[in-house]
A and B are shown apart, each in its own frame.
Chain A
Amino acid sequence: MYAFINLLSAWMIPAIIAFIPLYGAFRKVPVYETFTEGAKEGFGTAISIIPHLVGMMVAISMFRASGAMDFITGAMEPLLRYIGIPGEVLPLALLRPLTGAGSLAFTSDLIATYGPDSMIGRIASTIQGSTDTTLYVLTVYFGAIGIRRTRYALKVGLFSDLVGFVAAVFICLYIFG
């Protein structure tokens, strides 16, 4: 099963890269010209995201460096322990919606410290794998098209992160416990 999954993920991207132009040629699309025509848009889109991402990354980076994150974690840890959640994974709940690279680094650190097959290692892996970086996704997707009023999108994203975190913890405790 594991070998099959590995093989599948190794073949998926090249298969798609070959299949799309092949299908295009079959349907008489001038594949190379169409590719360059579409690709032109990519540059402008990436550049238009810069201001949004810089703004977000500055705020998140300051927040982490100031120690505010540790403060919040420290305050909440006893409460979590009380309901049976290992406090070590709490920073991950706060990091995960904010920074993909930061939470991945933290997850690797937990896995290195407690071992991949420990309960903490399993919970951390599950949390990291089960949701995406909400603030990043919001910044990039809405930044690319210039949306300023995001309405309820952020609330929905953060709520689902919270649900995902709680679900990950209790599913792991139940399955591996």
Chain B
Amino acid sequence: MISDEAYKELEEAVGVDNVSRHPAVLDSYAFQPFENHESMPWCPRPVAVALPSTTQEVSEVIKACNRHNLKHKAFSTGWGLWCGPTTDDVVQIDLRRMNRIVEIDEKNMFAVIEPYVCGAQLQAEAMKVGLNTHIIGAGPNCSPLASATSMHGVGHDSIYMSYSARNVLGLEWVMPTGEVTRLGAPGSGKGWFCGDGPGPSLRGTMRGYTGALGGMGVFTRVALKLYNWPGPPEIESTGTVVDVMSEVPDCLRIFGCFFPDKDRLADAYYDIGEAEIGYNCLKVATPAFMMILAPHLFKKLKGTENLRRLLGGTLGQMFLIILAGISREDLDHQVDVLKAIVDEHLGFVLDAKNIPTLGSNLAMNFIRATMPALVFRIGGSFSTALGRNDSLDTQLAWGEAIAEIKRGYAKKEMIIDDMGDNPYFVPYENNTWAHCEVVYPYDHRSEKHLAGSSAINMDFIINAIESCMEPMFGVVPSARKVLSPLTSNFNRWQRKLSEALDPDQTSDKGFYTDEAEFDFTNVPPERVERLQKLVEDLTWTELGPPE
């Protein structure tokens, strides 16, 4: 509950039309099914929601919350449990009125944007001036600001456009105290071209591998790197996601590359990286395409052993790559190189040019990352096994290990059988490191699946620790509690910084520094023991980790 007095101050901050405490409105924020492993997919209901339209208003909202001992939690495009409150005393700050592209600096290749600018919007504007923006694999509906400042940040285009956290060139930040600060060159009034300095970089307090997920104030503007786009200002398209057909620009070529085994695929990846080609590159399981595009057909066909073997086996080790050339000569060279590499590693390429409908369907779906959300279709929900990103080899090994775990659960019908390993594997920065997560669909209405989900997640965590990885879902308080002592006691330091910059702990810290006990209800005792043993063996002493 929010007091009338506090509510009135919120009204004063943003105007009466832009604040609400109506239960129906609040419940629309509390309904957060994605990555919510409860049978009723709600998160705590916020006590009120405020919709500021300027940085100043954000600051006033936070100050009003602070005066009344209420916490605050930012919400940009709001896709997933993480943007919801984790306790009962939170004011949700919905940033949808802050939807401006403040500036596109064409020459210096960056844009300054507000939180509710979405990937598609920024991309459309950037393309008009021959530039492009990194779009995370969640899709173009998501806020590039949210992933760059506060969340993860991997996307199909990471081979060319990196990881969101590494694309930040400056930041405007309403601190948990309500004070406004800017980091890097904009903080000194010099323009939005560098996010670090003077001296030590406060960008390091903004986020690490993951963001603070709303646990450290509100970011109101960010300067993000843009990248070259050699294509036309607009791509002619008809239809929508599943049946979209686009004019494939002459500067693009799309290939599926198939390999006889994982090792050859890995070698090809490394070689492609050193050849410095590729604009968009993604390894997904072949059956995943059928699963997301034609779920009913998929359900019918998945018992077919030959199809399983063909898609999951023979065609299993593949990736899609888009080459973008700045000239005919450049593109031809890239194609020559790609074909030579695939040949050398005994693979074959499928040229989408030879299957025009496929090419014209995939082009925008990949450049704009529109397809992944279709993964919800088959079971209504999905989750994912995220290990720590590092070398390509580690990520491929992670994909295999998780696929093995998944098979066991699919056999017991504790998750939906998706007929393959279903990785989302993308290389970063010319294949110099990579990301791999393994997706599994489930039906959150099924008790069996919910039990399966919590057990399989424990297996993922154990596997991550055994593989010396910090699982990306270390943002969950129970996982953080287990992991921190094994990983530089990072949460101890995170907490200290959080207490230094947010002395009254007014941001919602649920996904940032809070810790909690695991619920082991659905986890077999031997797995609990295994986890405990790992923790015992790997806990840091003051001299570091046990070698």
Q: Do A and B bind each other?
A: no
Binding site for A on B (CB under 8 A): none
